[in-house]
Chain A
């Protein structure tokens, strides 16, 4: 169970890293280009929103994967 959790966690990490790398390529920020428009938005905005949503979903997935690793840390109580 722990191995599976670790694998899912790594997949989330890889997914987040790939999305971040993708952001800095011409797919999201093509210099001087703003087409195609989707839902009335220029390319950098709609692709940027998609990347952002992807990152939030991966955060959610990572959150679920971490369920079995819960600890009760925190500040001195």
Chain B
């Protein structure tokens, strides 16, 4: 495998360098660097969105999730994703309208403009900083611990983390968003190819899909239904996860930006349908790999399972492609997120554009280093940590939706509600407040409460302004008559 790894690794690094330098040559000015000229076509748009969404979380996390918790994992991710793509058609249109009206430099900046209040932007930035840095960290950690286990003589886990973060930062700093998009396309292609090759091998091993599930039934029947053998997929867990994932295009700026930078609205909406097809193609094989693991690696650790099924049971060339695919997946998702953090910060800054850009680049380095530190300290629960990130950023979902949809600037109470929700959720993660309030999960309760409060506030303000408008018109008429 080492020979193939050297060949494919060199090829991949050469392509990264080529894309980085090509993007550097094409880049004209700060907006071009940050937003790739806002002129992305259908295929690039589709692949970059998919690669940002699906990462090590998909290739490593989902098979392990199916193996441990069973078929409920399909509801957890696929149904939530399906609903999310529908939301993109609707939300993307309104987002692009607002972006055209107010100008777009980032979601935080757009919110400051929509609310006429900088604190709205600060609240959004706080949410993405608090919950995207850990998300970046788990991408890096996931692949680092895997590689250190598979190649113990090469580098320790922290060494792999450092190598990944340096590659990611170099690449992003040189080529900007355009370079990241090209690397996303490369990653999406590798990911889709290797995951199918492995899944077909798993299904062939059983002699078909039916035989595979029958074998799982014999091994552990609880895997074939919810809540799964460990009781994870309760109705509340699935609903809370559903809401958090559906909110991703609204609350995760690396995804939101990919809706705005499309060449036009039609392409963005076509992309939503394309993503539906692409996601089905990505997620179906993870079921087969997970079920294979449930039968043959029932008691193995996550590391042993993934190393066995993804590498040691494969042909050398496939195993090498998997390693490169995993590295590419981790880097392309993580650099999109780190870059999005920089973009968000830039959108809150004003002044000389060159100085702002230099500051943004330094900030991207800082975010990368913060993620590196967190990756060395965080736990191994990839999917659950990713879910925490989605749930955390979803706390400002109602705030962003109100800013985009409300015809008038929403009130400061909406910003306060989002900030309080964010703090309470954070406190629950630190065990300062309970994660269950009575029978309800705190994240679900917070999201529902903030959503209802925001809706009531927006409706009340719009009603009050309408009434005030009418009163003003009547008064004006009276004044005119008097004159």
Give chain A's interface residues, CB within 8 Å of chain B. 12-13, 16, 20, 23-24, 28-34, 37, 39-45, 48-49, 51-53, 55-56, 58-60, 62-63, 66-67, 69-77
Contacts and interface: CB of A to CB of B under 8 A. Distances in A.
B104 A74 contact: yes
Nearest to B268: A74
B13 to A, nearest CB: 31
Contacts of B35: 75-76
B21 interface: no
A76 B225 contact: no
A7 B90 CA distance: 14
Contacts of B37: 77
B276 A55 contact: yes
Given A66-B269, A72-B264, A74-B104, A45 B210 contact: no
A66 B93 contact: yes
B104 A31 contact: no
B227 A31 contact: yes
Given A52-B82, A72-B264, A76-B38, A45 B276 contact: no
A60 B99 contact: no
Dominant SS among interface residues on chain B: helix
B178 to A, nearest CB: 13
Contacts of B72: 29, 44
Interface in B226-249: 226-227, 233, 235, 238-239, 242
Contacts of A29: 72, 75, 225-226, 233, 235, 238
Given A40-B210, A74-B260, A76-B31, A20 B83 contact: yes
Interface of B: 31, 35, 37-39, 71-72, 74-75, 78-79, 81-83, 85-86, 88-90, 93, 95-100, 103-105, 208-213, 217, 221-222, 224-227, 233, 235, 238-239, 242, 260-266, 269-270, 272-273, 276-277, 280, 287
A16 B225 contact: no
Contacts of A63: 89, 269-270, 272-273
Contacts, number: 168
A75 B209 CA distance: 46
A43 B221 CA distance: 13
A29 B235 CA distance: 9
Contacts of B95: 73
A27 to B, nearest CB: 12
A40 B213 contact: yes
Contact of A76 (B105, B263, B273): B105
Given A44-B75, A63-B273, 8 more contacts: A29-B238, A44-B224, A45-B213, A55-B79, A75-B31, A75-B99, A76-B105, A77-B38
Contacts of B224: 34, 42, 44
Contacts of A66: 89, 93, 265, 269
Nearest to A43: B225
Nearest to B236: A24
B82 A45 contact: no
A72 to B, nearest CB: 6
A76 B358 CA distance: 20
A42 B216 CA distance: 11
Contacts of B262: 74
A74 B74 contact: no
Contacts of A32: 222, 225
17 contacts: A16-B86, A31-B226, A34-B217, A44-B224, A49-B280, A55-B83, A56-B277, A60-B273, A62-B86, A63-B269, A69-B93, A71-B97, A71-B265, A73-B99, A73-B265, A74-B96, A75-B261
A42 B225 contact: yes
A24 B238 contact: yes
Contact of B86 (A23, A59, A69, A73): A59
A32 B217 CA distance: 12
A67 B266 CA distance: 7
Nearest to A62: B89
B341 to A, nearest CB: 17
Contact of B82 (A42, A51, A70, A74): A51
Contacts of A73: 95-100, 260, 265
Contact of A59 (B96, B225, B264, B276): B276
A20 B79 contact: yes
B390 to A, nearest CB: 17
A13 B87 CA distance: 9
Contacts of B272: 59, 63
